[in-house]
Structure 1
Amino acid sequence: MHPLHRPPAVPVHLFQPDDATGNRSFTLVRLQGEVVPVPYMLLPHRKDYYLLFFVRHTSGRHWVDMTPYTHQDNTLYFTNPSQILVNEELAPTWGTYLGFTREFLAVQSNASLRELPLIQNSHHWHQLRLSAVDAAFVEQVLANLDAEHHRAGAWQHQLLSAHLSVLLTYLSRLYTEQLTGPDASADQRVLQAYQAQVEENFRDAHEVSAYATRLQLPAKHLSAIVKAQSGKPAIKHVHERLVLEARRLLVYSDQSLKEIAFELGFSEASYFSRFFKRETGLTPLAYRTSRPSRKMS
């Protein structure tokens, strides 16, 4: 089989049309102590859609890539389609599960939502703690979404989009306050735009100059802003993203080093191996064998 057509290394679970409404791009499920019977959640996997999970109460722990998140009350957990996820257990849960696809965000009226900090998630963080006031607000917006979700009609998509816009904008404000502070300067916005471009293009673009072209900025100017705002060179952001994806594939897939190198845009496996050792201190093979369990534990 040609490598371009090989099956994905980690299972990708596709968005399923909503059972109650048949909606093919948006779903919302309210849980009142149920255990969601989805066995694949106990194995490493990706989802091909965005997921927000507002937890009123549950127990246990889940992992996003190699980071554990112990479940806490009044907390919002969120992921985008690139993450590798796994739950350690399926526990009774009180909360709301909300999923939507890239296609939902691609609709013209929703396009601006793709630029929100929560969706871009440049900090690669996946939880927000909510105060009582924040939790009450989020709960009310989710109730509005739930009501509209079950009310079919010509205006349903527009109203779902409006309620979702309120929710994601509100959560993005919390995201920036908890992770970056409430105000973003022009240079911080350049950093955020750079990080978003790296997330989208790291497999194909390994040089800062390629991102400078995309952002229509001189490469030296972009490098200076990114270094000043983040404390590390612009190229380091690219390298860290490549290492993160390499670690995912080394731990959770059986792909060969050559296949991983090809997937990450390296022309030779030997070049990839040198790059990985320089960045981590271990060869790819040593890293893979140092993590004998493919479970997130």
Structure 2
Amino acid sequence: MVSEKVKISPILDELSSCVNEEGYYHLCWIQDHVRYIEINNTQYHHVSNSVFFLTPDHRWTILKNDVGTSSGYVLYLPKSILNHPTFKNLHITQVRLFKSTDEIPKINLAPGIEKRVQSILEMLDELISTNLAHKEEAILSLLNTFFVYCDGKCNIKSVISDNNAKATLVYKFKKSIDQRFTQEHEVSHYANLLNVSSKYLNECVKDVLHTNAKNLIDEQLIMRSRHSLKFTDKSVKEICYELGFSAPDYFSYFLKKHTGMTPSQIRKS
């Protein structure tokens, strides 16, 4: 059973370091009270609510302030499990896209998603230490759900070579969306930022992700809209302007078009 080799540890101690077990990928999900994570002698600060995807070649240390309370989890995955058929459509082994020493694969989870990820990892932590029937299937299912949430943020569903210029451009585009989608909704803005034409950017997105560039922007807007409507007391007008829409009527039209529901219907669902 491949899942028997999966390990998970909460980040509890003041200093946590990688376990030097050959052939393991490390996924560090970091919550609050962490001063920094050091990866291959480089420190990364302001990392709350981040997921780092690290290969066996990485050496990392996490330094935190609040000893005794959990500041996230470290998930240890053997290389063999990443080839399991459950993950075949996600290409998890490609999550570290470019294998360059200066590009650490980090994603920031959207508000709301972090709670779901926390629940998934807590269930894994509990499940791994049990002898329940169908444990293998449950662990694989939880891992798949975790990667599905991460997949929309960082993963590219394609086998990527180090010199794949289109994949590199799409990766930069996705990172730019994460940083700017509440202010900029148009593909042309991101194309100008990346010094390419909108047509070429869209062509690259279609080739690599089998969707179009505007869908990636809209996906982030929909996710944030749904979270704000369901988990905050902000008015529709406040959420509208917070996400960069010009007017509440257009915000409502956007959500109705993409989800089939108005803001008030999403809030009640």
TM-score (norm 2): 0.49
TM-score (norm 1): 0.45
